Amino acid sequence: MGNQEIQNLLHMAIEAAKSGNKAIARGIFEQVTDQDPNNELAWLWLASVVDSIDERRAHLHRVLDINPDNQRAKQALQKLEQMAAQPPVRRPTPAPTPAPIRPAEPVDTLRDELSFEEMDSSAQPDVQPQHRRRRSSSWVFWVIGLLAVSMIAAGIVLLVTRSGEEKTTTPEPTEALAAAPGTATSPGNTATPRPAVITLAATEPLPATWTPTATWTPTSLPTATETPPPPVGYTLLITARRGGQGEWRLYTLRGDGTQEEAVPVRLPSNIANQSMLEVYNATYSPGGERIALVARIRETRTVDDGSETVEFRDIYIVPAEGGEMQRLTTLEAQEIDNPDWSPDGSSLVFASNQDGDYDIFSVGIDDGVLSPITENTFEDREPAWSPDGAHIVYASDQGGPGLLEVWRMQANGLDQQQLTNDANNSYAPAWSPDGSMIAFISDRHQDNDLFIMNADGTGERLLTISDGTNEDRDPAWSADSQWIAFSSTRDSGVFEIYLIQPDGRNLFRSTTQDGDSRFPAWKP
């Protein structure tokens, strides 16, 4: 793993820690320390997100082994020792009347006022009960006691509710290191995006090992229900290799991976000199009654001195349940990718290299009329129609040869605008059903990951974090915007289909086959 990738992981982990996602942050910090055992900043932040005092103390000592002059680690260790030296906390005898309810205070203020033992009950020594006077068995006393407990419980609920409404500040490593292992930011703040740029007080400069790198700017997450509809309620169309075969075929399955069935497709019976080698990259029409696909065809042709065999690719249309394919284009191109239906179902947009470099075309479904949309020397590919039919988003290297970025243009090819601008490649854009968001793939962090952004290119956010060097591909939105399907190698040596919510929650593996599964498309 290169230094740049380590720095990117470190930055992601710090962002996760600041957002209160301690488990995610801890996993990424551990990846960094495994790859770079002397990364002082990673050990310092790791100490702030571990789950035990002993682990925190050990990580702080590791920081001092690397840099004996690290003042943050010294201060945190000193505070831990001071807390450990404090006398055990004696629990007072409950009073018959409740204490006044204090106004809600920010988390950081409470952390400063409470002792370490009070914030983490797991760290408290056994408390021996004090000698007390024998309590009266009077029923009056019990009634008063129950009333007091009820009032205290109501006060606690009010305090928690008001605390969740107040905006808290996230502690820097020094404060978090001495906090209780279970302490996190208020649940009311976890939905608020954190700034991507890390800011520390001027009196505590970052260690020399940290080099800030460019990153995305988080934005508000798209709305998603707490419990999305279960995957079993959806139908997916995928391209896959099954049974050890090397050719791609089409399959339908439920969103949870069950009921997988092959879609039988064939060439017209009156074409004797052609054979279908494979079909792939299929997608449903807006009404779900037809499928557009790319087919690789082998044809034997008669020439002057005998015959010759050629192979080419073109777009075909087939009924959703399978059957005889009808040829739509006659490009006989070397490559064709990403056919996508217009919202009204009257045409397809796709990319082809039939003239040497990839350009984007549209073709009428009924008349087969082909219309070029981009005609240039750049690589323009993977187009997708906006839900309102007014725009097309696509990947192009016109910003720099060999490096793809996501672009948007009007449906007629005018007003081309670049949406992404980051390291390496960004491609495979996919519109959300309401047109407000775009999912895409980028290898800006070395491996290909799933991102999401606003339709104008702002608010880029990484969804598939903590996946190591695994590869993600082929994002596709469900019609209700609750799920994004994509293919990934994260759990095996082949591509499988996964589902994830647009806010990054509830990652679900759909297929568990021994062959690749790609190009998911949702049935309307």
- How is the chain split into domains, by residue range? 231-522
pLDDT in tens, 340-380: 999 999 999 999 998 888 999 999 999 999 999 999 999 99
Nearest to 75 by CA among 53, 60, 65: 60
Quote the pLDDT of residue 292. Answer: 98
Classify 372 in phi/psi space as left (phi over 0), alpha (psi -120 to 50) or beta: beta
**pLDDT for 320-344, tens place per residue?**
999 999 999 999 999 999 999 999 9
Q: Return the SS3 of 127.
A: coil
The model's confidence at residue 1, banded by pLDDT at 50, 70 and 90, is low
| 328/495 Cα distance (integer angstroms) | 29
**pLDDT per residue as tens digits for the range 414-431:** 999 999 999 899 999 999
Write the pLDDT tens digit of every residue in 485-495.
Answer: 999 999 988 99
pLDDT digits (tens, 9 = 90+) for 397-406: 998 888 999 9
State residue 140's pLDDT score: 45
How many other C-beta atoms are found inside a 10 Å radius of the C-beta of residue 323? Answer: 13
Nearest to 18 by CA among 196, 140, 139: 196
Q: What pLDDT is stored for residue 439 in this prediction? A: 98
For 42, 60, 350, the CA distances from 207, given in Å and listed in that order, are 11, 15, 50
Amino acid at 188: G
CA dihedral defined by 427, 508, 261, 320, rounded to 10 degrees?
-50
pLDDT at position 278 is: 97
Asked which of 153-167, 358-372, 494-508 is least confident by mean pLDDT, the reply is 153-167
Token reading at 380: 């323009």
Condensed to tens digits (0 to 9), the pLDDT of residues 454-493 reads: 999 999 999 997 677 889 999 999 999 999 999 999 998 8
Question: Does the predicted model carry a pTM greater than 0.85?
Answer: no
DSSP secondary structure of 208-224: TT----------PPPP-
Residue 445 banded pLDDT, cuts 50, 70, 90: confident
Lowest mean pLDDT among 154-163, 240-249, 296-305: 154-163
Higher-confidence position of 233 and 102: 233
Q: Output the pLDDT for position 258.
A: 97
Task: Please give the full DSSP string across 396-415, using - where no structure is assigned.
Answer: E-TTSTT--EEEEEETTS-S
pLDDT at 272 over 60: yes
Q: What is the pLDDT of residues 18-43, one digit of tens each?
A: 656 677 778 888 888 888 888 988 88
Q: How does pLDDT run across 219-251, given as a tens digit for each residue?
A: 444 444 468 899 999 999 999 999 888 899 999
Fold of 231-522: Neuraminidase (2.120.10)
C-alpha R_g of the chain: 30
Nearest C-alpha neighbor of 221 from the set 502, 21, 16, 18 = 502
Residue 129, pLDDT score? 35
Q: What is the pLDDT of residue 486?
A: 98
Distance of alpha carbon 321 from alpha carbon 311, whole angstroms: 27
pLDDT category of residue 437 using cuts at 50, 70 and 90 = very high
Has residue 144 got a pLDDT over 70? no
Q: Buried b vs exposed e over 338-357: b needs ≥16 C-beta within 10 Å?
A: bbbbbeeeebbbbbbbbeeb
The DSSP-derived string for 320-363 is: TT-EE-EE-----BS-EEEEEE-TTSSEEEEEE-TTSS-EEEEE
